[in-house]
Structure formats: C-alpha cells, structure tokens
Amino acid sequence: MSRRYVWIAWHADPVAAQRSVFGRVTLVSGPEDLLADRAVDQVVARARAEDPQVEIAEIDAVRLDFASLVEFTGQSLLSSRRVAVIRDLAELPPDLGGELTRLATQPVPDISVVLVHRGGNKGRSLLDRLREAQVDVVDCPPAKPWELPDFAIAEARRAGGSIERPAAQVLVDSVGQDLRSLVAAVWQLLADGESGQITASQVRRYFGGRAEVTSFAVADAALSGRPGPAMEQLRWAMTTGVAPVLITSALAAGLRGLGKLISAPPGFREAELAREVGVPPWKLKSMRAQARGWDAAGIAHALTVVAAADADVKGAADDSAFALERAVLAVSRDRRG
C-alpha cells in the first residue's frame, strides 16, 4: 500500500481517485478542519460510488475500547461494506494503538477506515507508526496567507464559477483567512451574481465595509506617502466603527512586509521573493512601488511611531483618534519623495 499526500482543497490525486477505498486505511492529519472534513467526505463519496448501500459509521476515539474498536472496524452484519470514521485520534486510549497499527498493516477487504487527527503532539507516536505502515495520508495544514487567493480561485471553480486573482485577493483581504468564511463568501457571491464570475467590484460592494479592508486601505495609502487619502480613509474607518487596533496592526504588518522586501537578498525568483515577504506574487508590484520611498531607517522610525500609537489606542492615551491621526501622518511623511 503506497503512502500518498493529498492537499484536498486544491489538488485531486487522479491515481488515488481510481482505486477502491475499501481494504484501505486513510489518515487525515492536520489542524485545518475544513480540509479534514472534505477529505472524509471524499472517501465517503468514493465509497458510495462503488457501493450505494455502504454503511457509514463515525465515532470519537475517546469512546472506544478494545472490543468496540474491533467491532467498529470489522465486518458489519447490516452491510457487506462499511466506512468507519474515527475522529479525534489524539484522544484514543493508549492501549488501542497497537490494534490500530495492526489494522493498518492488515486492512479488512470490505472496510474503509478513516482516522482523523487534528494536529499537535498528542498521539504523535501513533501517527508515526501509522505512516510507517504506509497508510494513505491526507495532510490538512493551515493555508499560508499567500495561498489563500489560490484557494478562493479553486473554490469558485468548484462551485461552477470563476474569480480572477486580483478579485480573489480583495476577497481574502475582505473576509479574512478563515477557510470556511472564504467558502461561504465565494458561494454567496456566485449565488447572488448572474455571470458566474466574481469581480473585485462585486466583492467590494458586498464586503467593502469590513474592518480588514478599511484598515488595510489606510495602511496602503500611508505607506505610499499619500497623507491626504490616508487621512480620508482613516476618518471613514473611525466613522464606520473600525477598531483602532486593527489600523495600527495593518500599519505594522505593511511596514514589516516592506522591511522584508527591501532587505531580501538579490537573485530571488518572483515566487521565492513572495514567500520570503509573505504576500502573493502579484502584490509585489504595488509593494515595490511603495518601497522605492523607504529605507531601513525610515521603516524603523515608522515602526516606532506605530508601536507608540498601538499603546495609545490600547489605553495609554485618552484620545485614540488623535493618536491614530498623528501616526498615519508620521508614517506618510517617513516615506521619502
């Protein structure tokens, strides 16, 4: 039995999809719940495609003892085939690890066993033994920030629509980094639209008032050395109730990104530089335009200003609005030219 790693939200394994899921053990490992749920759903769907009468059974690992584990992962009296899903594998009683390892090396022909581990160190030795037994493995790690637009693009395609990369980034900036929220937003936008394509203007119309968008708009204008638009965006943010700490956070994040960009070693390819900075590749263009007016000393001073403003809005000063205005103007002026 070969070991396979499948990133379930972005890629399908065509070879694995053609094999029977019965007589196999699949380990779904990682903290991203959405990907884990989809991995389980994929196994169940493939099992039902092979046998519409298949029995689907789920149980939490903590509820198992030796007898119930043997019964749960063995032949069913009600159905000739079964998918047995064991969740929260980290909570499996320690004395059952050996039985699961034996099952991994000697799977039952008509049973598909799916083991779900939510990540972390608890139960790590069992995971290592299962991997050594060469079970099928689906890794479900948290998505990196620069990967989220790709996820939104893939999700739109999954829903029968499309979204261009700039619009996908606007969506990520608007909704945040939670995958379930991104999925809900993609499906909502496609359901409410007529063309099947999600545009940046559509995203802004639905989510433009979100705090993440407004705070990053303030930061982008300030880092570009445009105090007028930055102050306009800041006043709009305060009018619409954006938490001041979100604005200082966006300023700090933008400055750190510029610092990484201007200090990156030469010779990086575009994708490598994007990973180093922590942004999607397409965003490098606008960041380079901002960076032309910054040097290390300017970024260091601006970060000091933002840190002081952050302390002010968290209670060190009586007037958080004044603290933010002062910080935004100072950051805008720290950029040369």
- Whether the domain at 14-139 and the domain at 145-207 fall into the same CATH topology: no
The pair of three-digit structure tokens given for residue 228, joined into one six-digit string: 């007028």
How far is it, in rounded angstroms, from Cα 80 to Cα 172? 45
In tens, the pLDDT along 105-161 reads: 998 889 999 999 988 888 899 999 999 998 999 999 888 888 899 999 999 999 899
Residues 6+ apart with CB under 8 A from 178: none
Within 8 A by CB and 6+ apart from 7, the residues are 35, 139
Query: If pLDDT is split at 50, 70 and 90, which confidence band does 275 have?
Result: confident
**41 within 8 A of 7, measured Cβ to Cβ:** no
Q: What is the pTM of this model?
A: 0.61
Q: What CATH number labels 211-334?
A: 1.20.272.10
Kindly compute the dihedral angle of the four CA atoms of residues 186, 191, 194, 198, in this order, to the nearest 10 degrees.
0
Q: Name the pLDDT band for 273 (thresholds 50, 70, 90).
A: confident
Residue matched to tokens 């965003």:
283
- Position 134 scores a pLDDT of 86
- Which residue type, as a one-letter code, is found at position 321? A
Question: Mean pLDDT lowest for which of 35-44, 58-67, 198-207?
Answer: 198-207
Q: Does residue 48 sit in helix, strand or coil?
A: helix
Q: Is 80 exceeded by the pLDDT of residue 210? A: no
* CATH number belonging to the domain at 14-139, selected among 2.40.50.840, 3.40.50.300, 3.30.70.20, 3.20.20.70: 3.40.50.300
Mean pLDDT of the chain: 85
DSSP 8-state secondary structure symbol assigned to residue 58: E
Q: Which pLDDT belongs to residue 11?
A: 47
Per residue in 282-322, pLDDT tens?
778 778 888 888 999 999 999 999 999 999 988 877 788 89
Is 55 strand, coil or helix?
A: strand
What is the spatial distance between Cα 155 and Cα 163, in angstroms, rounded to a whole number? Answer: 9
Residue 186 near residue 171, CB atoms below 8 Å: yes
- Judge: domain 145-207, CATH 3.40.50.20: no
Distance, in Å, from the CA atom of 218 to the CA atom of 251, rounded to the nearest integer, reads 8
More confident residue, 212 or 252: 252
Q: Where do the structural domains in the chain lie, given as residue ranges?
A: 14-139, 145-207, 211-334
Residue 4 in this model has a pLDDT that exceeds 60:
no
The per-residue pLDDT for range 216-264, each reduced to its tens digit, is 778 888 998 888 888 888 887 787 777 888 889 889 989 999 999 999 8
Tokens of 90: 């980290």
Token pair belonging to 126: 């069992």
The alpha carbon of 199 is separated from its chain's Cα centroid by a whole number of angstroms, namely 21
336 pLDDT exceeds 80?
no
Highest mean pLDDT among 2-6, 42-46, 228-232: 42-46
Of 241, 251, 171, residue with least CA distance to 208: 171
Q: How far is CA 46 from CA 13, 42, 53, 73, 134, in A?
A: 13, 6, 12, 18, 20
Residue 21 structure tokens: 């899921």
Give how far Cα 336 sits from Cα of 248, 283, 285, Å. Answer: 21, 21, 18
Please, which residues have CB within 8 angstroms of residue 297's CB and are 6 or more apart in sequence? none
